[in-house]
Amino acid sequence: MHTNTEPTQSSDLALLGLMQLISPALPIGAFAWSQGLESAFELGWVTNEQQLGEWLEGVLDDGLTRCELPVLARLQNCWAKSDSEGLSYWNDWLHANRETAELSDEDTRLGLALMRLLNSLQLQPQIEQGHAALPQDPGYVTVFAWLAQQRQIPVRQSLLGFVWGWLENQLAVACKAMPLGHTAAQRLIEQLRPKMVIAIDTALALADDQLGPIMPGLALGSAQHETQYSRLFRS
């Protein structure tokens, strides 16, 4: 009996493409950035596993859920509709919501690094008539959204992959700088897995005028990190 395997193969390739995109082995230098977490260690705001879990949950609820995740969904939809105006708007919106020089630099540099990788793999966005153009100074989320759309990854799966990559990076930072044991990191993953699903449900339901991170503590810590005497990470 003949079985059509094309839909399954397409879905498998999309999943593998997402795994490649969020892998710690992706050579874009994400390991060099802590997204403000190193400041929390240095200032004594986070000193143990419980406090780290609370910090990560706060960043997830008040940061990613209200900023990166809903905007990633919008950017991927803009790529799907070849909406250049929308892409520029949300790319600029993200830049405007980076509250310190370090956080802005991180987003820009990771975006450029991912673009360089795509160029070397001959996967970069092509300028074609009728297709959306890459915004000027594309941030990491914008380039991530483009590749997710090119690989036909469903929007919800893109958000799951993005938030998983964020958590893995944060726990890797904690294992190096806190230090946090690897078993403790797995406990935090178990604690945060259901919360990440809730975060995505919330992010997908937010209207445009409900977006915007509410993380004054992280912003203050990140600003102080710029003059921190000794540091392992660039943010």
Answer whether residue 80 is part of any domain.
yes
| CA–CA distance, 24 with 201 (Å, rounded to integer) | 25
Neighbours of 9 (CB within 10 A): 10
Residue 138: exposure state from Cβ atoms within 10 A (0-12, 13-18, ≥19): buried
With respect to residue 48, please indicate whether it lies within any of the assigned structural domains. Answer: yes
Q: Which amino acid is at 154?
A: P
pTM of the predicted model, to two decimals? 0.92
Query: In the chain, pLDDT over 90 holds for what percent of residues?
Result: 65
Question: For residue 2, what pLDDT band results from cuts at 50, 70 and 90?
Answer: very low
- Establish if 149 belongs to a structural domain: yes
Residue 21 belongs to some domain of the structure: no
Candidates 188, 233, 216, 181; CA nearest to 42 is: 233
Query: What average pLDDT does the structure give for the chain?
Result: 89
Question: Percentage helix, strand, coil, to 5, in the chain?
Answer: 70, 0, 30
Question: Which pLDDT tens digit goes with each residue over 97-140?
Answer: 999 999 999 999 999 999 898 888 887 766 554 456 778 889 99
Task: Give the mean model confidence (pLDDT) for residues 20-34.
Answer: 88
Q: Residue 9 has what pLDDT?
A: 66
Tell me what the mean pLDDT of segment 18-36 comes to: 88
23 in a structural domain: no
Measured CA angle at 48 (ends 44, 51), to 5 deg:
80
Q: Which residues, at least 6 apart from 192, have a Cβ–Cβ distance to it below 8 Å? A: 53, 56, 57, 60, 167
User: Per the structure block, which two tokens stand in for 62?
Assistant: 């008040």
Give the list of residues 6+ apart from residue 120 with CB closer than 8 angstroms, or none: none
- Distance, in Å, from the CA atom of 37 to the CA atom of 34, rounded to the nearest integer, reads 5
In a domain, 163, yes or no: yes
Within its chain, how far is the Cα of 235 from the centroid? 15
Q: Which domain holds residue 115?
A: 33-225
For the chain, the domain total comes to 1
pLDDT at 180: 93
Report in angstroms the alpha-carbon separations of 145 from 3, 72, 97.
Answer: 32, 6, 18
Q: Which residue has better confidence, 47 or 150?
A: 47
Q: How confident is the model at residue 167 (pLDDT cuts 50, 70, 90)?
A: very high
pLDDT in tens, 201-235: 999 999 999 999 999 999 998 888 888 777 787 77
In a domain, 145, yes or no: yes
Which CATH number characterizes residue 71's domain?
Answer: 1.10.4190.10
| 13 domain residue, yes or no | no
Q: What is the pLDDT of residues 35-54, one digit of tens each?
A: 889 999 999 999 999 999 99
Does 5 have pLDDT greater than 70?
Answer: no
Neighbouring residues of 83: CB distance < 8 A, sequence distance ≥ 6: 77, 132
